[in-house]
Amino acid sequence: MEPSTTLGTPGATTAGGWEASPGQTLEAVDIAVLVFYFVFVLAVGLWSMWKTKRSTVKGYFLAGGQMVWWPVGASLFASNIGSGHFIGLAGSGAASGIAAIAYEWSGMFCVLVMAWLFLPIYIAAGVTTMPEYLQRRFGGKRIPIFLAILYLFIYIFTKISVDMYAGALFIQQALHWDLYVAVGGLLVITAIYTVAGGLAAVIYTDTLQTVIMLAGALTLMGFSFAKVDGFEDLQNRYFKAIASNHARNSSCGLPREDAFHVLRDPITSDVPWPGVLIGWTIPSLWYWCTDQVIVQRSLAAKTLSHAKGGALLASYLKILPLFMMVFPGMISRILFPDLVACADAESCKRVCRNPSGCSDIAYPKLVIELLPLGVRGLMMSVMIAALMSSLTSIFNSASTIFTMDLWRQFRPLSSEWELMIVGRVFVVLLVVISILWIPLVQASQGGQLFIYIQTISSYLQPPVAIVFLLGCFWKRTNEKGAFCGLLVGMAIGLIRMVLEFVYQEPLCGHPDDRPVVVKKVHYLYFSMLLALISLIVVVVASLLTEPPPEERIHRLTWFTRKDVPMEKEVPPVSQGLPSVPADKIHEADLPPSAQFEISDGPPSAYNSGACPLEAKKASKLMTLFLWVCGMEREGKDTPAPEMTSERKTDAATAPRDDPPWVKHVLNLNLLLSLCACVFLWAYFA
């Protein structure tokens, strides 16, 4: 029988002689499992909403700072492993082998760097967001505003739209729904408990999602490996997995000869090894050490030791994607070569409506065709869990950045009630913008979703990573140097990104007429070059200008994090505000606690934005609505100076209060995790 080239054609036969089921979709048992999953997640979300104080800034954005290590670690992993990873890593494995896993293994190292090196600085500084740290470190408003806008830009281009597209692609394969209908349905469910519950609801549901993801993904891994006879058989059969309509004289659709190597030729390969070791590490440092989504989870931990324990758990879990996603993606190519490895634009368009390639359907195809009744529903839950955990984390962090770093810059006297509303409304706006970006995601990078993520990261993130690195570990870095480095680096990165979208990679077999800077300079090498240029600009500009004042270094760098807090830095709440007219107070020159006293003080003094419902009894329906949104105390704007002062107390006392055995256990696990990372690199190099 001639193998079919269309999805869902009856009697499609795979290269392994195994006959795929014709166009399977979810049945009643699968739907029941899926419904049970949603009910369970909703129950956990409601419980977390009831348990935490969502009506305060600290309660909503930092979960009250009371999280222990295991939900922090689970949330770090779930926030990182979205549906884009399941779809993208499996797709990259099917298309080009295991090289994409290098980004996951660099994450194993970078998440530990965050916990041991960067997090003590952030805690000592008493910050809530990453732009806030740069404002305290460098002063002024232009760097925090620039960075806040950039973070939102990156979230839309590399996170939200990618995860929505990946999750919708999976649903499209399973239920044959329209892509945008699937996106809309997912977003409604996702936004409800994100908007309502704040970070605590996100972290607790992330913990549940992590358990579900691991159980389902490991189950599918077992079913996948049952179709091949071990790792050696996988290697042999992968190189023979070629579409039946492949042209004999063409290299299009052929597996790469170095598919099972992480470190590849520095000149001719798709991912050169210097770029993998250095160029990939730079965006990874940005992601794990300075990205609001990741750092916000660690700042929610009770103590620094709990934050380190969470980072260790996430690091250990990062070993699994190679076995849960990449290898199953390669097995999917073996089982469905005519679909996953389609060789020309016309056949790919018939299979998955994407002429660039169909490798991204590798994971959904395995789920639909291999798994029995009920288990398919579980894996559907896994994919939706991955999507929802990633999106809720991003929504909450993006909302935090917009509210605390942009909105409060323009409305410094905004009430806590106003901040809560703005943060929630912004989530809705973010969703709309992200949906509009999905068509470009679909068309990019030859159908390899994970490679799309890495290319955009390589163009936007290196300058930010360099500014944070120098700001945290070089006291001489000043505001002018940091801003010049950001400006020059981002200008160069944006030019390359625009060129990448204007001159897209031609389809296989077509001439490559792209400019030399796009065609010859690999995006990983560009990441290295961009980081070097940004480093030089920051260092030179800082040395040519005046050094930063003492207050811009005190407790804000690695070498000054243990300095004794200045008495004037955090005035006690009981002392009130300085007796200065409100129109003369410059918010950026005051510590965050004083800023909160200004913006969130008693309604009689400042709170012109208090809800009028205080004057009259709200209806039961309105009361229920306000409770769901965590605004049941709308008329009592509570000042939140503890957001900074408590954090500083934690930083000063947690390391000394922890028993010695806790430090020994953490450091021993740090060594074990690093050894595991080195072993994986060496074995698959």
In a domain, 307, yes or no: yes
- 616-663 residue pLDDT tens: 444 666 565 554 555 554 444 444 433 443 344 343 333 445 688 899
Dihedral angle sign, alpha carbons of residues 354, 360, 365, 368: negative
In a domain, 249, yes or no: yes
Query: Exposed/middle/buried for 242, CB within 10 Å: 0-12, 13-18, 19+?
Result: middle
Cβ neighbours of 44 (radius 10 Å)? 19
What is the structure's pLDDT at 21? Answer: 39
**Nearest-CA neighbor of 551 among 534, 533, 563, 539?**
563
What is the structure's pLDDT at 626? Answer: 54
Letter string b/e over residues 653-663, b meaning 16 or more CB atoms within 10 A of that residue's CB = ebbeebeeebe
Q: Which residues, in sequence order, are bridge partners of residue 42?
A: none
In a domain, 672, yes or no: yes
Structure tokens at 411: 């409305």
Task: Indicate which CATH number applies to the domain containing 318.
Answer: 1.20.1730.10
**Nearest-CA neighbor of 148 among 410, 451, 390?**
410
**Nearest-CA neighbor of 138 among 646, 557, 513?**
557
- Over its C-alpha atoms, the chain yields an Rg (Å, rounded) of 25
Q: Which residues, in sequence order, are bridge partners of residue 264?
A: 272
In a domain, 565, yes or no: no
In a domain, 617, yes or no: no
Length of the chain: 685
Q: Is the pTM higher than 0.85?
A: no
Distance CA 524, CA 667 (A): 32
Domain count of the fold of the chain: 1
In a domain, 57, yes or no: yes
What is the structure's pLDDT at 665? Answer: 95
Three-state SS for 128-188 is CCHHHHHHHHHCCCHHHHHHHHHHHHHHHHHHHHHHHHHHHHHHHHHHCCCHHHHHHHHHH
Cβ atoms 630, 198 nearer than 8 A: yes
Q: What is the mean pLDDT of each run of 10 residues along the chain (685 residues)?
A: 35 38 63 79 67 50 66 86 80 90 92 95 88 90 88 80 73 70 69 57 73 87 90 90 76 83 88 90 93 85 91 95 94 92 80 78 87 81 71 76 83 78 80 72 56 84 95 95 96 91 76 81 93 97 95 94 70 40 42 40 38 48 54 45 39 52 93 94 89
What is the structure's pLDDT at 457? Answer: 87
DSSP letters spanning 393-420: HHHHHHHHHIIIIIIHHH-TT--HHHHH
Residue 294 domain boundaries: 48-549+667-684
What is the structure's pLDDT at 251? Answer: 67
Q: Tell how far CA 597 is from the center of its chain.
A: 32
Distance CA 376, CA 358 (A): 21
In a domain, 574, yes or no: no
In a domain, 662, yes or no: no
Letter string b/e over residues 281-300, b meaning 16 or more CB atoms within 10 A of that residue's CB = bbbbbbbbbbbbbbbbbbbb
What is the structure's pLDDT at 179? Answer: 66
Cβ atoms 79, 205 nearer than 8 A: no
